Amino acid sequence: MHSRITHYYLPPLSMVIAHGARASNRDALLDALECIISEGSVHDVTLDGVAARAGITKGGLIYHFKSKEVLLHALVERMRLRLHAYCVDPMLDARMALKKFLIARIHYAFAMGPQEKKVMANLLAAASTYPSLMGPVRTMYDSGLDGLARVADTAGLALSVWTALDGFVLLEMLGVRQFSAVEKEQMQATLLMLVEQQFAASAR
């Protein structure tokens, strides 16, 4: 029997970091960058275009981001922080933290909207033009991976869930396959059930 699907709300990216006048300008610039990338590609990004889209002077943009490359790095880092904030609970012990991480990661993957997938796909594609992006992009994808094998008897399941989610996201992100709502519900329910069963069995 499949677990009942719970739909989670993903907060806007701008909620991840602290606010204030300068922080708000920084967020506005990254929001503008994200919109431009989601509508076209990284190659369409210019400092003038991002500043105009955000309603901020180019001097204001340069205050936060000295170059296009620095701007792109900041967006990747903000996306990584968003995923980390959604999935990681440092207050839990290792076993419960891993369970919470896997469940949250499953919900996150299936709740991602087309805009975020398009941004991620374009950032991944841009790494060939901007090699320095590959490190931050890899870090974003691997966020949390280093802790998967720390809990006894869970490494196989954790890595399998992680790989299944990455495969699902990449297939949709690159336009190779678009899954139906029913297929997504079936996959999500099965992955959640596997996690629940693994941790219930290991607790006996």
Q: Is residue 100 part of a domain?
A: yes
Better-predicted residue by pLDDT, 127 or 150:
127
Identify the pLDDT of residue 57.
94
Q: What angle do CA 151, 120, 111 make, to 5 degrees?
A: 65
C-alpha dist (Å) from residue 45 to 24, 126, 169: 20, 11, 24
pLDDT over 90 (residue 5): no
Closest to 147 measured CA to CA, from 93, 190, 198, 187: 93
Residue 7 lies in a domain: no
pLDDT of res. 94: 80
Under the banding of pLDDT at 50, 70 and 90, the label for residue 203 is low
**More reliable by pLDDT, 84 or 10:** 84
Tens digits of residue pLDDT in 27-41: 999 999 999 999 998
First to last CA, the chain: 21
pTM of structure? 0.78
Question: pLDDT tier at 179 (50, 70, 90 boundaries)?
Answer: very high
If we measure between CA atoms, which residue out of 181, 44, 179 comes closest to residue 125? 44
Q: Please state, in angstroms and rounded to a whole number, the distance separating the CA atoms of residues 193 and 180.
A: 20
Q: Which tens digits make up the pLDDT trace of 133-175?
A: 888 888 777 766 666 656 667 778 888 998 999 899 989 988 8
* CATH number of residue 85's parent domain: 1.10.357.10
Which DSSP string corresponds to the chain?
Answer: -PPPP-PPPPPPGGGSS--SHHHHHHHHHHHHHHHHHHHS-GGG--HHHHHHHHT--HHHHHHH-SSHHHHHHHHHHHHHHHHHHHH--TTS-HHHHHHHHHHHHHHHHHH--HHHHHHHHHHHHHTTTSGGGHHHHHHHHHTTGGGTTSSTT-HHHHHHHHHHHHHHHHHHHTTS----HHHHHHHHHHHHHHHHHHHHHHT-
- Closest among 137, 122, 129 to 174, alpha carbons compared: 122
Give tens-digit pLDDT for 51-65: 999 999 999 999 999
Please check whether residue 41 lies inside any domain of the structure: yes
Query: What pLDDT, on the 0 to 100 scale, is given for residue 190?
Result: 97
Number of structural domains, the chain? 1
Would residue 6 count as lying in a domain? Answer: no
Q: Which whole-number Å values give the CA distances from 8 to 83, 103, 111, 200, in the listed order?
A: 13, 11, 7, 23
Q: Which of 12-16, 37-41, 70-74, 194-198 has the lowest mean pLDDT?
A: 12-16
Span 62-98, pLDDT tens digits: 999 999 999 999 999 999 888 888 888 888 888 888 8
CB atoms within 10 A of CB 126: 20
pLDDT for residue 14: 44
| Predicted local distance difference test score (pLDDT) of residue 16 | 41
Contact between residue 202 and residue 155 where contact means Cβ atoms under 8 Å apart: no
**Higher per-residue confidence, 98 vs 183:** 183
In a domain, 145, yes or no: yes
Task: Note down the domain range covering 33.
Answer: 13-202
